[in-house]
């Protein structure tokens, strides 16, 4: 049986561990802390590839893989729910963009009256549109379910500090001492990828995002809503998630007064009823950014890498797990534009 050692037990590491184990591999996944406790559970959980592509002027590749991953989601979360016994609610009622434009498709444009019918509390800004089939889920439901599902498939989780990574082995220091875990190595360490000994040349860096949770006193959005300065993501318990900043501040944790005030103000500008909403919680997480904003996926200097998913970590989880497993086990080609080797000239 082929053995694999995955470094990082966030959403992507656990999803890949599950996929490999289901295909008959022996998988050990190592994590220094609680699986999924970093960016995976800090995310808002949006599944909006068409909206992301329009707003951020994405090229064909991210649009394509985002759409493919979204198409996998219903069957994927259904399977994970069965395997883990932790159902994950998937909401694909569409996403509303109310930023003063009419979007890429004239047929999707919304008049002020249509917007009011669809999302009564959203302020019309001179142009809006609906992206059908997109939506959200709660990462705080998804990540534990994927972790349990990976264990149910046969993956073994180990806790400790990775002190060395090389082709065919990972050195792990724990309270029990130092172990050398042998097998094909896969780096899924998210924003911490370049901090893993042996992977410093990979240009993945943390991009901090601050997020705010509000409790409306009245109406709340029914679906994902994008305003000019923020996005709103509903939750089944009535909360509204408001995000998010994009800050290149290294691994500086925490939230700032200015950022949280700014997010609340931005939320009220697109959904005025949120001006009086109670602030329940604010937090930050580190997205794994790359120089071109695309993931790093493929073979690199004797190890496999799946990192740098940036804003779309939750969205791309099912596609990345299946694509990586097929590349590793069956020699299927990954998109050339995602190869980690594209950055080798950077040093």
- Inter-residue contact 70 to 49 (CB < 8 Å): yes
Residue 38 has what pLDDT? 60
Euclidean distance between CA atoms 225 and 298, whole angstroms: 34
Mean pLDDT per 10-residue interval, the chain, length 347 residues: 91 97 97 67 90 83 91 98 97 97 92 96 96 97 97 96 94 90 96 95 96 94 96 96 95 95 98 96 94 95 96 96 98 95 81
10 Å CB burial of residue 63 (0-12, 13-18, 19+) is: middle
Say yes or no: 209 and 105 in one domain: yes
Task: Name the residue range of residue 155's domain.
Answer: 1-91+136-203+291-347
Say yes or no: 86 and 210 in one domain: no
Say yes or no: 232 and 128 in one domain: yes
SS3 96: strand
Say yes or no: 282 and 233 in one domain: yes
- Inter-residue contact 112 to 14 (CB < 8 Å): no
Residue 177 has what pLDDT? 87
Task: Supply the pTM of this predicted model.
Answer: 0.95
Domain count, the chain: 2
Q: Residue 162: give its domain's CATH number.
A: 3.50.50.60
Final residue before a domain boundary, out of 289, 304, 323: 289
Say yes or no: 140 and 278 in one domain: no
Say yes or no: 241 and 304 in one domain: no
Final residue before a domain boundary, out of 289, 309, 339: 289
């Amino acid at each position: 049986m082929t053995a694999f050692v995955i470094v990082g037990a966030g959403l992507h590491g656990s999803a890949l561990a599950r996929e490999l184990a289901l295909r008959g591999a022996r998988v050990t996944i190592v994590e220094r802390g609680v699986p999924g406790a970093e960016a995976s559970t800090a995310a808002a959980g949006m599944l909006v590839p068409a909206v992301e592509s329009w707003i951020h002027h994405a090229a064909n590749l991210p649009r394509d893989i985002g759409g493919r991953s979204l198409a996998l989601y219903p069957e994927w979360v259904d399977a994970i729910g069965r395997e883990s016994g932790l159902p994950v609610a998937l909401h694909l009622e569409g996403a509303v963009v109310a930023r003063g434009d009419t979007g890429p498709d004239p047929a999707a444009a919304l008049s002020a009256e249509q917007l009011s019918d669809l999302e009564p509390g959203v302020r019309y800004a001179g142009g809006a549109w609906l992206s059908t089939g997109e939506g959200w889920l709660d990462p705080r439901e998804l990540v534990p379910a994927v972790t349990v599902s990976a264990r149910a498939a046969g993956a073994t989780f180990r806790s400790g500090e990775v002190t060395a990574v090389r082709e065919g082995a990972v050195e792990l220091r724990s309270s029990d001492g130092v172990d050398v875990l042998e097998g094909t190595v896969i780096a899924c360490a998210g924003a911490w990828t370049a901090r893993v000994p042996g992977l410093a040349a990979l240009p993945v860096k943390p991009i901090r995002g601050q997020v705010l949770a509000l409790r409306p006193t009245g109406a709340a959005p029914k679906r994902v809503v994008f305003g000019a300065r923020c996005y709103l993501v509903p939750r089944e318990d009535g909360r509204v998630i408001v995000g998010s900043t994009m800050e290149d501040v290294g691994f500086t944790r925490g939230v700032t007064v200015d950022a949280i005030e700014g997010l609340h103000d931005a939320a009220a500008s697109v959904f005025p009823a949120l001006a009086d909403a109670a602030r329940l919680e604010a937090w930050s997480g580190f997205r794994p950014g790359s120089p071109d904003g695309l993931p790093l996926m493929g073979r690199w200097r004797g190890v496999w890498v799946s990192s740098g998913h940036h804003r779309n970590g939750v969205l791309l989880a099912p596609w990345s797990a299946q694509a990586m497993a097929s590349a590793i086990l069956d020699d299927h080609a990954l998109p050339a534009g995602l190869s980690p080797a594209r950055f080798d000239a950077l040093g």
